[in-house]
Amino acid sequence: MRNIGIDSGSTTTKGVVMEDGRITDYLLLPTSAKPAESIQKIRRSLHAETADRIVATGYGRKLLTEADKKVTEITCHAKGAAWLSPGIQAVIDIGGQDCKAILLDERGQVADFLMNDKCAAGTGRFIEMMMRTLEVPLEEVDTFAAGREPASISSMCTVFAESEIVSLLAKGVEPGDIALGMIHAICRRTAYFARKMKLRGEVFFSGGLARFEIFRVTLEHYLEMPVRTHELAQYAGAIGAALM
Amino acid sequence: MELIKELPEIFEEFAEQRKNSFLNIKQLKDKGVPIVGVFCTFLPQELPAAMGAAVVGLCSTSDETIPDAEMDLPRNLCPLIKSSYGFAKTDKCPFFYFSDLVVGETTCDGKKKMYEYLADFKPVYVMELPHRQTEDGYAAYRKEIIRFQKVLEEKFEVTITEDQIREAIRVRNREREALKNLYGLMKQDPAPMLGMDLLNVLTGAQFKFDKEESIKELYTLAERIQKEYDEGKHIEKRPRILITGSPIQGAASKVVKAIEDNGGVVVVYENCCGVKSVDELVDESNPDVYDALARRYLNIGCSCMSPNPHRFDLLRRLIPEYHVDAVVDVALQACHTYNVETIGVKRLVTEEFHLPYMSLEVDYSTSDIEQLNTRMAAFIEML
């Protein structure tokens, strides 16, 4: 069986090929302003014409009309995370435009979930905007913020936080301290949000920010629980879709 | 209602009933029938009905007039309150326009403060609603009902007799029975119809002014639905959802649509567009007619009551009766009392019944439709 899972997220589109329970190919592209095109590019690159089954997930899932099935990113993230990291009991996903906390039951199925989708506060977009203000590429965040003293950031609104950063810079605060301050702000907010549910065991961290160790460590600090991730964590949704 | 029509057409008629009543209300007005506009279900409609008035619901359910309301009221206020105020201010709602008297009650803080300023445009009377369902509470509401009767009598220069009130109670009780008979059909699994159709009927029936006619229609419709059900015409088996919380007619019914577009079916509405306001009858055998009204109305399990045991008792009864698979608790944005009470409902649903529970905070806009769809789809995938 050759199954393809495509996760059309707000920032990136991910595709995963699974053959007989193993990942044989994967690909990530920016979603851009034309999500349908990104989906089709992924589909072509992964040779979807030879697939036995294609499942779509993510905000743009309805755009893949050829999909055999469309499943929400909640269900897919849970499935993908449990496959990447067997035994986990909860998933925290910080996506481009929302943040999800998912509680799993003993079979790895969704038992409960929370979504924060009202605004960009506490999402990947927030970090992207802030790094742009600091003029540092997001990919360098781990080294840039390492060993710094977190500056106090009080605003979680993406627009207000940007002006807060501008005024901190004007006061001469080190950009690295500001970056770490933002990371603390986003992780603290995410932890409080997720703790509305009765979290237990180990938490899996997925989504684009899971690539950066500093987010995992800070999230662990505020959750006061072990947080695991995986090099393919950003693909958790697409993996889950391929497993459907 | 003509019997030859197909069910979907009949449901559609109910959905359009509010608009169709615009014309009826004008005709009634021209005939000299007094029109009393009301907000919450706590108002004993039997009193205006006893003097032959048409009673019309004024809770507004569209975001059309919210920008006008926000010129005067804070943005961070319940959309139902803003919308209602906006319709009164702009005179866009014929029901407001034709109301000789608008009656509110001291339910939630937002509403009671809004009524103060609504009085700038309309003749407003506010009943003082106690917030505890105790003997003192019943006694206070009984007095308030008598006071309301006097207001009606003075304003419309009529006398309302006890016999007239008792007759109005009998009619309203029969209407309640007819509504219960209809929504009770949803106890069947698979469900006979979609929850959206049921909501349209429940809402539409509120805007039928000839109650005898409406009662007849409701029974005919229920019979028709049951007949088709017995012939095998019903929706496929789906996860069964109970909706509780703030009122959700109109714009907020986007929640019902999101549930049903994603494979669920709403089998019962606990909120005040459904069972909450219909379930209990007025005790016709009570020799004190005002006491009977006070008890029946004050017992409504709205979150403005503190504590609010009747909502929880009703949920405990409805969950098994309707074979509910999951509960969706809808709070309108900034509806503090329903928002706070979500924690109690969550505990009841998850700890006593071990069923999945989801709470949603919605406004009247369409900006969150996609997020709602994703949430409801994921919730139903979980079942």
Interface contact B223, partner A, CB < 8 A: no
Please name the member of A71, A109, A115 whose beta carbon is closest to the beta carbon of B375.
A115
CB A171 within 8 A of CB A202: no
CB B175 within 8 A of CB B183: no
Interface of B with A in 337-366 (CB under 8 A): 356
CB A94 within 8 A of CB A208: yes
Q: Please give the radius of gyration of chain A, using alpha carbons only, rounded to the nearest integer.
A: 18
CB B56 within 8 A of CB B99: yes
Distance from CA of A117 to the nearest CA of B (A): 7
Per residue in B21-42, pLDDT (tens digit) is: 888 899 999 999 999 999 999 9
Residues A166 and A60 in one domain: no
Average pLDDT for runs of 10 along chain A of length 244: 94 95 95 91 93 94 92 95 95 89 90 81 83 93 94 80 90 95 92 90 93 96 96 96 95
Under CATH, which number does the domain B7-163 receive? 3.40.50.11890
Residues A203 and A117 in one domain: yes
Residues A45 and A18 in one domain: yes
Residues A74 and A96 in one domain: no
All residues of chain A having their beta carbon less than 8 Å from the beta carbon of residue B356 are 111-112
Helix axes A73-84 and A236-243, enclosed angle (nearest 10): 90
Residues A142 and A155 in one domain: yes
Interface contact B370, partner A, CB < 8 A: yes
β-strand pairing of B124-127 with B101-105 = parallel
CA distance B334 to A151: 33
Cα B303–chain centre separation: 14
User: Does residue A47 sit in helix, strand or coil?
Assistant: coil
CA distance A85 to B293: 61
User: What is the spatial order of strands in the sheet that A53-57 belongs to?
Assistant: A22-30, A12-19, A2-8, A53-57, A69-70
Q: Give the model's pLDDT for residue B46.
A: 98
Per residue in B269-310, pLDDT (tens digit) is: 999 989 999 999 999 999 999 999 999 999 999 999 999 999
Residues A33 and A98 in one domain: no
Range of the domain at A18: 1-85+231-244
Q: Give the model's pLDDT for residue A96.
A: 82
- The reply to whether the predicted model has a pTM over 0.80 is yes
Cα B256–chain centre separation: 15
Residues A80 and A106 in one domain: no
Residues A184 and A125 in one domain: yes
Residues A4 and A98 in one domain: no
DSSP letters for B92-161: --HHHHH-SEEEEES-SHHHHHHHHHHTTTS-EEEE---SS-SHHHHHHHHHHHHHHHHHHHHHHT----
Q: Which residue of B has its CA nearest to A115?
A: B375
Answer whether residue B113 shows pLDDT above 90: yes
Size of interface A-B (CB pairs under 8 A): 36
Q: Do A72 and B368 touch (CB under 8 A)?
A: no
What is the average pLDDT across B158-165?
A: 98
All residues of chain B having their beta carbon less than 8 Å from the beta carbon of residue A110 are 378, 381-382
User: Does residue A57 sit in helix, strand or coil?
Assistant: strand
Interface contact A140, partner B, CB < 8 A: no
Residues A182 and A78 in one domain: no
Per residue in B308-349, pLDDT (tens digit) is: 999 999 999 999 999 999 999 999 999 999 999 999 999 999
Q: Give the model's pLDDT for residue B270.
A: 98
Q: Give the model's pLDDT for residue B20.
A: 85
Residues A94 and A190 in one domain: yes
The pLDDT-based confidence of B6 (bands split at 50, 70, 90) is: confident
Q: Give the model's pLDDT for residue A118.
A: 67
Interface contact A117, partner B, CB < 8 A: yes
Residues A13 and A41 in one domain: yes
Q: Do B374 and A59 touch (CB under 8 A)?
A: yes
The pLDDT-based confidence of B193 (bands split at 50, 70, 90) is: very high
Count of domains forming chain A: 2
- Indicate which CATH number applies to the domain containing A235: 3.30.420.40
CB A198 within 8 A of CB A222: no
Answer whether residue B1 shows pLDDT above 80: no
User: Does residue B194 sit in helix, strand or coil?
Assistant: coil
